Structure 1
Amino acid sequence: MKKAAIILLLTLTTFLSFGQTKVGLLFDQFASVRWKNDARFLEENFSEQGVETILKVAHSSLDKQLEQTQELIDEGVKAIVIVAVDGTNSEKIVSLAKANKVLVVAYDRPVMDENVDIYVSYNGLECGRQQAKSMVNGIKEGNIIMINGPVSDINGIQFREGQLEVLQPYIDEGRINVKGDWVLDSWNEMSALMKFYEETPDLSEIDGVLSAADWFNDALNEYAENDPLVDNIYKTGMDPTIDTIDKIKKGTQNMSIYKPLEPLAEKAVELTMAKLNDKDAEIAEIQIMDLTFHGYLFDPIVIDKDNASNFASKLQKSVVAE
């Protein structure tokens, strides 16, 4: 009797495991701790829905991300949530997934392909606008350097467009002078540092650094060898950590764009499950360049000296061990 019960339990466990829905998480890289947080929140939310997740990281290789797409398909995933290595050249990834009837969810970064099923992110144009508004309010006039991420990430293009939308009248009036408009090859701090060494700007002539990401400011500090002069340069950022809060309080960074990851992951899972189960969900049309996507855009949150303390506990909870 006991033997029969054990056999029945093993059979049931195998059946349930075989029948469990699988979703692939296809990430560009984990160079920034924020992506580890994204992966964790996605895994937790899918797990609550009874869904197994399979995580793969391409380490910024487009070819590797394509290979991993096939691996996920071979493992039987019903959907792929992708943080694209190159959102402008991922058509093979999308085509491969769609040929195998796998749902494609572009997460945080747009994938410029009309066959993407869902796109969930923050409003990139508004992120750039808010950074630029903070800059012109902070310095009124002067010389600035703009530092943005690669054009392979459409978000980088949108951030810059939003920044220039606000800056252009000030540039035309001669109140703001852009001494450097840098579009880096990648989002990492080393790319920014190498650009500083390549351009060798005289920081005594710079009033503001319009950084699209917080860690570009770390590159600025390293280039300046922590010269106190840098503290007088107005600095923007994005994707803050608990360390950013300390910097804003001390005045060594002036603002950051906060894009809470928990609601982003929750929405991505909600829309993915709705699509897989043919259920209704809150879907909007999102226009990016000449393509229309279906999904959801959140508004970004500005953190500055006036409200930094309000976000300390939230960012502390989101820390992931390196």
Structure 2
Amino acid sequence: MKKVFGILLLALLLLLVACGEEETSSEDTGTDDAPAEENTDESEETENSGEEEATNEDGISIGFSLDTLQEERWQRDRDLFVSKAEELGATVNVQSADSDDAKQISQAENLISQGVDLLVVVPHDAEVSASIVEMAHAEDIPVISYDRLIKNSEVDLYVSFDNERVGEMQATAITELVPQGKYVLIEGADTDNNAHLFKQGQMNILQPLIDSGDIEIVYDQWTKGWEPEEALANMENALTSNDNDIDAVIAANDGTAGGVIQALAAQGMDGEIPVSGQDAELAAVQRIVEGTQTMTVYKPIRDLAERVAELAVQMANGEEIETTTTVNNGQIDVPSILLDPIAVTKDNIDDTIIADGFHSEEDVYQNAD
């Protein structure tokens, strides 16, 4: 009996030892698996992080700060610029300030904080936007002034059309039709440096005729924010103060021309008074073929947008840029590239705007008799 009890006791001890070893083996296996799984995750995370860093380092990021997208012209600029930049491998973050200085500065600050490689700015206010250049340069981000010059700053590059030449084209077209008479000038926004360049160009042509007594400027007003409603009010004031006795109007762009023509139409004078414009907006070229607007200045927007996109990518990559001239902005002579505008009348719409595909023949002539 004692022998049997001893055998049972020995078997029980062996069983307990075996269970202990199995439990220990199980615990060890669990401990080994956990670190192995964590190491795998860390490896994957590091690999993914490396891919993201490579993407950020290799891809060019461009901030595009626009004054407004309310006008057809600026929507075209945006689309053409973004398309070309993306074709060249860059990404573009577009911000529109709705003609609000504080909003544009805030948006630019946000773009800078995102770490864009370069900033392209269409300034609302030429003076106020100098702070954007200062903020960007503090982070070693170059700035291109697009179409409108940023004043009193060390902006890196200015690309636009020859805006003084635009004004000369406007005045030339109108004075050829009305070499003598009473003129109204409906200029652009006083805060836009381009508006001053347009006016300077106009006066290059008008001043000799003013000095000779052939032309009299009976009304001359800036248009706040380039708003057509402001141009309409200005033109109504011009008509009222001159008892409708005017002979010609030089309007700085197609938006202001639209306001002018609306005021003239209210007096039954649309189509009788020559009116200039600029930007070749669809509504404007339709007015030209209808006979209520005399001319516009066509600035091939594709040339400008795509050229700036190419320059932006080159500058962001640290490449040297060749410029054709300089324009003084009140602080420095800004390296500049100025493209050629084209004066458009009813006689050459087909050979310019339509031939370039800027507007279709169907759209241009849809309201024509």
TM-score by length of 1: 0.90
The alignment status of 1:242 with 2:282, answered yes or no, reads yes
Indicate the SS of the match to 1:115.
coil
Q: Distance in 1 between matches of 2:200 and 2:329?
A: 11
Deviation digits for residues 25-83 of structure 1, max 9, x if unmatched? 10111121111111111111110111110011111111111111111012110111000
Q: Distance in 1 between matches of 2:192 and 2:117?
A: 25
Indicate the SS of the match to 1:101.
coil
Deviation digits for residues 63-119 of structure 1, max 9, x if unmatched? 111111111012110111000011122221111000011110000000013410111
Q: 1:56 aligns with which of 95, 98, 105?
A: 95
Q: 1:299 aligns with which of 334, 340, 345?
A: 340
Letter in 1 for 2:343: V
Q: Mapping of 1:215-226 within 5 angstroms? A: 215-226=255-266
Q: Mapping of 1:176-255 within 5 angstroms? A: 176-199=215-238, 200-202=240-242, 204-255=244-295
Q: Distance in 1 between matches of 2:98 and 2:290?
A: 34
Unaligned runs of 5+ in 2: 1-40, 364-369
Quote the sequence identity (%): 27
The alignment status of 1:264 with 2:304, answered yes or no, reads yes
Q: Mapping of 1:69-218 within 5 angstroms? A: 69-199=108-238, 200-202=240-242, 204-218=244-258
**Contact 2:149-2:329 within 8 A present in 1 as well:** no
Q: Distance in 2 between matches of 1:203 and 1:245?
A: 29
* Distance of aligned partners of 1:203 and 1:221 in 2 relative to their CA distance in 1, 3 Å threshold: farther
Letter in 1 for 2:56: F
Indicate the SS of the match to 2:226.
coil
Q: Distance in 2 between matches of 1:241 and 1:62?
A: 25
> More strand by proportion, 1 or 2?
1
The alignment status of 1:312 with 2:354, answered yes or no, reads yes
Unaligned runs of 5+ in 1: none
- CA deviation after TM superposition for structure 1 residue 203, in Å: 6.6
Count of matched residue positions in the alignment of Structure 1 and Structure 2 = 315
Decide which structure has the larger Cα Rg and report it: 2
Q: Distance in 2 between matches of 1:31 and 1:118?
A: 25
Q: Distance in 2 between matches of 1:47 and 1:281?
A: 20
* Distance of aligned partners of 1:121 and 1:138 in 2 relative to their CA distance in 1, 3 Å threshold: same
**Contact 2:61-2:91 within 8 A present in 1 as well:** yes
Letter in 1 for 2:156: D
- What is the root-mean-square deviation of aligned Cα atoms in Å? 2.4
Q: Distance in 2 between matches of 1:227 and 1:196?
A: 11
- CA deviation after TM superposition for structure 1 residue 245, in Å: 2.5
- CA deviation after TM superposition for structure 1 residue 201, in Å: 4.3
**Contact 2:327-2:336 within 8 A present in 1 as well:** no
* Distance of aligned partners of 1:278 and 1:18 in 2 relative to their CA distance in 1, 3 Å threshold: closer
In structure 2, what is the equivalent of residue 23 of structure 1?
62
Indicate the SS of the match to 1:156.
helix
Q: Distance in 2 between matches of 1:271 and 1:284?
A: 13
Q: Distance in 2 between matches of 1:221 and 1:184?
A: 15
* Distance of aligned partners of 1:289 and 1:97 in 2 relative to their CA distance in 1, 3 Å threshold: closer
* Distance of aligned partners of 1:168 and 1:289 in 2 relative to their CA distance in 1, 3 Å threshold: farther
- CA deviation after TM superposition for structure 1 residue 8, in Å: 11
Letter in 2 for 1:166: I
Q: Distance in 1 between matches of 2:47 and 2:349?
A: 53
